[in-house]
Structure 1
Amino acid sequence: MSKKKPLSHGQLRRMRANQQKRLSRSKSGDDLPEIQDSSLGPEQPAIVISRFGQHADVETTDGQVYRCNIRRNITGLVTGDKVIVRLAVEQTATISGVVEAVHPRKSTLTRPDLYDGVKIIAANIDQILIVSSVVPAFTTQIIDRYLVAAEDTNIPPVIILNKIDLIEADEQAAIDEALQRYQEIGYPVYKVSSKTGEGVQEIKALLNDQVSIFAGQSGVGKSSLINALLPDAKLAIGDVSENSGLGQHTTTTAKLLHLPSGGDLIDSPGVREFALWHLPADRVGWCFIEFRDILGTCKFRDCKHLDDPGCAIQDAVSKQQIAQDRFDNYHRIIASLDEQRHARHFRSGPDEQ
């Protein structure tokens, strides 16, 4: 008898995922029958506050929140989606209605996932607030990754430096200089301390009548900043690990929160590094906004912007029209693309490529 061929990484992953789905359905009630149409009321507009498997918490125009089933033909429902729902005429303690349809989105924030490809995190966002801090260590590399992600989705980004009360005297000049470079190319920059309250009022004004989302490494203080902006939120705050220096994840699913000013804030799961492997190199270059007017003017069409002769980008760096730091971060991102794609190939298995 021939020996069975061992399962690939992708096959093993799918098998485990299917087992987990079956367990989750049995625990959460996802395998219960759909609510009968005859027991549902008329259609009405709502917004998705949060998503849980095959259920979504939606808020209707009267401010009431209901947990609803999602029609099987609706895929990829996320926090911030504007939807049409039908509520049960007789409410129960568990499921209160059904999400029937989703309105077209004006914007989506996506994040690459090693297993599932590009995933939508949230929808209908007006601005991305990129939060950085001095703990974990301040780095422009992470800021530039988030800026590329924001530019790729055409959602205006804002840079926020949190925990300014922890800046050491010998760090101040370098951090101010780095932030000034972002302001010079057109990005708004705010400095804030959720601990002392410094700068919090400016952030509140920034959020007025906008749908905003915080993005940034775990540990930069997104949850504590949200608590300072909206004390009633009372979000869990994670400490920075003493061993790794990295933040501990405290948010497990995206949530939409209402601000007293009238704006909305989406609190999304933290990520330690925003992967960009789904973007081609020329798109990454375009997402560096100070490169745009120069791209396409190099001597050779396939210019890598390294030591290529006649490189217009290199020339702009030498003339200080492009900051050396931003140029270096661009090449770090380009160099990381193949590494991240290789990691995805290894984890998902060659049969899925």
Structure 2
Amino acid sequence: MAKRKKLNKGQSRRVSDNHNRRLKRNAADTIDDSQLGPQQEGLVISRFGQHADIEDSEQQIHRCNLRRTLGSLVTGDKVAWRPGLDTTQGISGVVEAVHPRTTVLTRPDFYDGVKPVAANIDQIVLVSSVLPELSCHIIDRYLVAAEDVDMPPMIVLNKVDLLNDEQRTQADSQLQRYRDIGYQVLYVSCDTGEGVAQLKQALKDHTSIFVGQSGVGKSSIVNAVMPEVAAITGAVSDNSGLGQHTTTTARLYHFPSGGSLVDSPGIREFSLWHLAPERVAWCFREFREYLGGCRFRDCKHGADPGCLLQQAKDEGKIHPERLESYHKIMAAMADKPTRHHPNSL
């Protein structure tokens, strides 16, 4: 008998992935209709592989299986589900359908293209920090993503208690560019309480999502604005200055006074390679009135003669570092997506 050819690593991984998917699909249908109660409405609080935590109309949480015919499901989705008559192995129901979304926040994935992160959000809270450093370029990348999905963003600078007077003045100067074009900017310190009351007010009656790199203190802010929630916090690595991933999956919390927020996993990169170049330029909101008016239709907004963006920069109408951020994003997009880290957003 001929010896069976050994599978390479890629083939072995695909076989294993296919096997696991079949097991998960089968597990999702282990509860038949005779074991289920009547259908009711619910809200996805969090998603875990082939399970999801569903909140019912009385704000009780139920761990549910997902029907294999179900499409994508993310935190914030409104669903139709059926409770199990008996809880089996910690599973108390089945999600059967997902209602249409009003909004969806997406992220480009290295393997699967653009994937949804959270649904039915109406406000993005972009959390930045003075540690390891305040990076306006990273803020610009998050703002592009927010503008692309048409969700109003708010910028929160965390850990401001670590700034001395001179550093705070410098941070004020750096962030003024965002106030000038209409973005709300809040300063917050979870240690001193500065800005926490203003942030609570800004979150009230909204469904917000916190986004930002690892280590900027998103989970600490969740604890500050919702002391009753035992969100896990972590320290910044002393060696690298990069934060540890302390939140492993997006989770929705309710404010007692109204409104909700989603705490999302920490993200160290923010890729935008899924966007068209023209869309990136449009997502810089102060660029919009000049787009389409340059001398050349294929203007790259660099050294091209007759560029209205360059002219606006020279006239002080566009901050030079915002235009520089645009060019950095375009340069990064010139690289193929295969060069991006699989966990980048």
Instruction: Report the secondary structure of 1:233's partner residue.
Output: coil
Which TM-score applies when normalising by structure 1?
0.90
Check 1:178–1:21 CA distance in 2 against 1; reply closer, same or farther (3 A cut): farther
**Aligned-partner Cα distance in 1 for 2:66–2:7:** 37
**Equivalent of 2:30, from 5, 20, 34?**
34
Segment of structure 1 superposing worse, 230-239 or 251-260: 230-239
Deviations 1:145-166 (A, max 9, x none): 0000000001110000111101
Moved more, 62-71 or 125-134: 62-71
Matched, 1:133 2:134: no
CA distance in 1, matches of 2:198, 2:15: 47
Aligned to 2:16: 19
Is 2:189 the counterpart of 1:193? yes
Report the 3-state secondary structure (helix = DSSP H, G, I; strand = E; otherwise coil) of the residue aligned with 1:56: strand
Q: Out of 272-281 and 231-240, give the one that drifted further.
A: 231-240
Please give the residue correspondences for 1:1-353 in structure 2 after superposition, counting only pairs within 5 Å: 12=10, 15-16=12-13, 18-19=15-16, 22=19, 31=27, 33-339=29-335, 341-343=337-339
State the secondary structure of the residue aligned to 2:87.
Answer: coil
Contact 2:51 2:66 in 1 (8 A): yes
Separation in structure 1 between the aligned mates of residue 14 and residue 78 of structure 2, nearest angstrom: 29
TM-score (norm 2): 0.92
Q: How many residues align?
A: 339
| Counterpart code for 1:41 | G
Structure 1: distance between partners of 2:241 and 2:17: 32
Structure 1 residue 338: Cα displacement: 2.2
Following superposition, the deviation at residue 306 of structure 1 comes to 0.5
Runs of 4+ in structure 1 over 3 Å off: 4-7, 20-26, 28-33
Contact 2:29–2:67 (CA under 8 A) maintained in structure 1: no
Q: Which runs of 5+ in 2 are unaligned?
A: none
Q: Tell me the distance in 2 between the aligned counterparts of 1:193 and 1:38.
A: 53
CA contact (8 A) 1:111 1:120 kept: yes
CA RMSD in angstroms comes to: 2.3
Separation in structure 2 between the aligned mates of residue 144 and residue 33 of structure 1, nearest angstrom: 44
Indicate if the aligned counterparts of 2:28 and 2:65 stay in contact, CA closer than 8 A. no
Partner Cα separation in structure 2 for residue 168 and residue 78 of structure 1: 41
* Structure 1 residue identity aligned to 2:82: R
Inter-CA distance 304–32: structure 2 relative to 1 (3 Å threshold): closer
